[in-house]
Amino acid sequence: MRILGIETSCDETAIAVLEVKDKSKPRFRILSNVIASQAKLHAKYGGVYPSLAKREHEKNLPVVLERALKEAGEKTDLAQSVLSPSSHKPAIDAIAITHGPGLDPCLWTGVEFAKDLANKWNVPLVPIDHMEGHLLVGLLQQTNKNDKFQMTNAKTTFPAIALLVSGGHSQLVLMKGIGKYKVIGETRDDAAGECFDKTARVLGLPYPGGPAIAAAAAKIRSTKSEIRIQLPRPMMHTKDYDFSFSGLKTAVLYDYQSRPKKIQKSQEYIRAMAKEIQQAIIDVLIAKTLRAAYEYNAKSIVLGGGVAANRELRRQLRYNIQDTKYPPTGDLPKGDKILVAPPELCTDNGLMPALAGFFNLSKKKHGEALNRIAAKPNLRLN
Ligand code: KG4
Ligand code: ZN
């Protein structure tokens, strides 16, 4: 079967076509995964501007759909929109739409678009939790045939602890299987990605802040810098699994304001600060994730969300798991205990809802009645 996944919860308009063979032991092939990013547009506001994002989604959706279908091998006639009444129905068996959590106007744009398509093609529509999408792409493993994927082996994966870190969320999730989730901790204020974005803005780095801070931090060559910065690691040693990143943002602002103008603008300061911000966030995320993995006897750790694209976070988590006093149990080879998608699949994309759509469709069989599907900006994984 073929599932079309649509994602518009924030500032990416994304559509993917996923082919699934053998439903009982599914094998997946990503036929297309098209993303129109609005990051440049929002850069001047230092964050996503919801009404502008909605307008862009409306503009982008038909174009991204045409491209996604075309790349999946459909003979769409670009001169004649697939949305026009006389166009033929593509070989799509179901549609999956992210209906939350996210920005209300953005979610609604995607939901309405998906409903129209489902109606027109007479296929089921499955509403998807954005965070489940982030989670499940981490479980995709490439098979020996390069373009094919399957899910990780359930026996050696679950129970798993998932760290989901994006622009809007930072959560630790206990996962007992696909569809069996319990949020055991989350941020009490800013999300990890939001902290990257806001502190980047203080330093005059572009939006999105995560990749900009990672790039600045990576440029440090000498360890002999005169500039010493020590940021706090908020809630790192508290007994719960919650996070708090707003204090970190304030600490960055105070340090910045305490420096002479010349230093504030210097590459040396910006890079040193970027490195310390990144490290402070990583230290807290890793400490809590490993403790959760230990306390819940996790067999693996799943990493998902835009911040999971951060190479230092991936590297240091892999490194720390080797000789930590909190090693997850199970008999997987060490490197395999951390499950994470390639960086380009960690940030928002249409494959996320398409994949989650497959598992939710098999659960509910026929998707939900169209008129009951609504955007749910505060949807919670549980
Ligand atoms: O999951 P995502 O694409 O969108 C939301 O669901 O929010 O995550 C976007 C967030 C942004 O805050 C961005 O700064 C952060 O992920 N991000 C990164 C990296 N790439 C994206 N943070 C740290 N390092 C990265 N390489
Ligand atoms: Zn996301």
Residue (of 70, 63, 72) closest to 17 by Cα position: 72
Ligand 1 pocket test target in 166, 169, 286, 317 with most atoms within 8 Å of CB: 166
Atom of ligand 1 nearest to the CA of 134: 1
Per-residue pLDDT of 127-139, as tens digits, reads: 999 999 999 999 9
What percentage of the chain has pLDDT greater than the value 90?
80
Q: What would the mean pLDDT of 174-196 be, rounded to a whole number? A: 98
Question: What does the mean pLDDT of the chain come to?
Answer: 92
Residue 34 β-bridge partners: 15
The pocket of ion ligand 2, defined by CB under 5 A, consists of 166, 348
185 C-beta closer than 6 A to ligand 1:
no
**Residue 322 in this model has a pLDDT that exceeds 80:** no
Give all domains of the chain, ordered by start, each with its CATH number.
2-138+344-372 (3.30.420.40), 154-340 (3.30.420.40)
| Protein residue closest via CA to atom 8 of ligand 1 | 306
**In the sheet that 12-21 helps form, which strands lie side by side, from edge to edge?**
125-129, 94-100, 2-7, 12-21, 27-37, 148-151, 140-142
Q: What would the mean pLDDT of 191-216 be, rounded to a whole number? A: 97
**Residue 327 in this model has a pLDDT that exceeds 80:** no
Per-residue pLDDT of 44-101, as tens digits, reads: 887 888 999 999 999 999 999 999 999 999 987 655 666 777 777 899 999 999 999 9
**What is the predicted pLDDT for the residue at 367?**
60
**Residue 331 in this model has a pLDDT that exceeds 80:** no
Atom of ligand 1 nearest to the CA of 193: 12
**What is the predicted pLDDT for the residue at 144?**
79
Task: Enumerate residues 6+ apart whose C-beta is below 8 A from 263.
Answer: 227, 269
**What is the predicted pLDDT for the residue at 4?**
98
CA–CA dist 325, 85 (Å, integer): 62
**What is the predicted pLDDT for the residue at 334?**
57
pLDDT band at 178 (very low <50, low <70, confident <90, very high): very high
Ligand 1 midpoint to CA 260 (Å): 31
Q: What would the mean pLDDT of 113-126 be, rounded to a whole number? A: 95
Q: What would the mean pLDDT of 251-276 be, rounded to a whole number? A: 97
Backbone angles phi, psi at 215, to 5 degrees: -70, -40
